[in-house]
Amino acid sequence: MSALSAVELAERIAAGALSAREMVEACLTRIAERDGEIHAFAHLDPDYARAQADALDRHRKSGRPLGPLHGIPIGIKDIIDTADYPTENGSPLDVGRRPKKDAALVARLRAAGAVIIGKTITTEFAFLTPGPTRNPHNTAHTPGGSSQGSAAAVADGMIPLAVGTQTAGSVIRPASFCGVVAAKPSYGAVSMTGALTICEPFDTAGIFATTLEDAALILDAMFGFDPSDARTRPAPAPRLLAAVRSAPPLTPQFAIVKGPTWSAAEPALEGLLGEIAETLGDAADFVDLPDAFDNMAPAHWRIMVTNFARNLSHYVARDPSGVSQRMRDAIAEGAETSAVDYMSALDWKAALASGLDRVFDRYDAIITPAAPGEAPEGHGSTGNSAFNQLWTFVGAPAITLPVAKGPKGLPIGIQIVGRPGEDARLFRTARWLQDRLAEA
């Protein structure tokens, strides 16, 4: 079954050619074979997963309507609340924590028929201290962070779909390192009610899949207004799956952007972007961003650590020994940030978003690296989010496409970025780009 996409699996389950129980058993078998080495799951209850599947099979046999994800197993990052599994936020201080109800996005996935198969490992509070997860392509290398368990589980074929979150680069980067498709939608497109609040101006749910259609399938179920989350807005659903299956009315135009953090790039990226530009020809231009974008990284950091101090300092107050030194240092730095400095950093969000609007007035999407290169060797770091911060900072939708192998034989992805709020257009454009690169 691992050779089939989630879209194909859902179609087979709906037609009765495959049962939800058979789907779950296949995933559980793969997890049992591989997770001892990969360590993608923080919490797994096989009997409960089977019970969900059996209930869904009874539902189908009753003749009632099926949701678009009926019977599809999905892993949930362990900072997102689930009523039936612990949610421990990657911290020893939350061991045994049992939420009273599902996060809003989990409730939407259940309503669409998904099987919540388990909780995937995250770094401590979705920040820098790695968990035990390993890269399926080479276990001596990091899978990235902080949504490392979700990325690795999909990359290793344990589950077809998984959910993560991104505050800097925690969806797009691990997808590149692990060689899978990922999507971080526009800020506010998916409710974050019931997920650990780390940095409210940036926190965004994202997903991992093996195809663009699968990514669109799961995000279609997650998008929507939530009156409990002021970041969401009442708006029609974008119908991403329909968009990714449609052809652009005109040949898309791409801006290839190295960005303000290009100094972090490994040599292989220069050649990769050059090959993409040659393949696209007149459909792509290299575009330099103004010097003002150099202010993004320090502003992003200042906003992030200040919100750490606001949202996570109670863990330090409870038990400093239960919080990593890196996290304590970041919280302490945030606590010392003045209101003037914080508000000045926030001002850069609107300024840089306005600057990017001028790019999107001319181009359908931006092509930029998803990570500095291959996954670094070792497990003391989750890698560098330098190529993701800008797009998180301005709330733009982004997609990772695995397109190459680096000199060590590990995956390298590119990142496709769209104008905030235009997620459907981005999916349609990314599909065109993927097809064009495949033909070449």
Helices 267-280 & 423-439 angle (0-180, nearest 10): 90
Of residues 19, 77, 91, 349, which has the active-site annotation? 77
Helices (H) and strands (E) in the chain, counts: 14, 11
Tokens of 132: 């035990």
Quote the CA–CA distance of 333 and 330 in Å, as a whole number.
Answer: 5
Tokens of 65: 């309507």
Helices 296-318 & 325-335 angle (0-180, nearest 10): 110
- 146 is an active site residue: yes
Residues forming beta bridges with residue 376, ordered by sequence position: none
- 385 is an active site residue: no
Specify whether the CB–CB gap between 408 and 376 falls below 8 A: no
The residue among 311, 76, 324 whose CA lies nearest residue 197 is 311
Specify whether the CB–CB gap between 126 and 167 falls below 8 A: yes
Of residues 19, 91, 146, 186, which has the active-site annotation? 146
Of residues 147, 170, 186, 191, which has the active-site annotation? 170
Q: What is the DSSP letter of 80?
A: B
Quote the CA–CA distance of 340 and 306 in Å, as a whole number.
Answer: 12
Quote the CA–CA distance of 301 and 278 in Å, as a whole number.
Answer: 35
- 349 is an active site residue: no
The residue among 274, 69, 293 whose CA lies nearest residue 161 is 69
Strand, coil or helix: what is 379? coil
Specify whether the CB–CB gap between 286 and 329 falls below 8 A: no
Specify whether the CB–CB gap between 19 and 71 falls below 8 A: yes
Specify whether the CB–CB gap between 97 and 113 falls below 8 A: no
Quote the CA–CA distance of 433 and 428 in Å, as a whole number.
Answer: 9
Specify whether the CB–CB gap between 189 and 170 falls below 8 A: no
Write out the catalytic residue numbers: 77, 146, 170
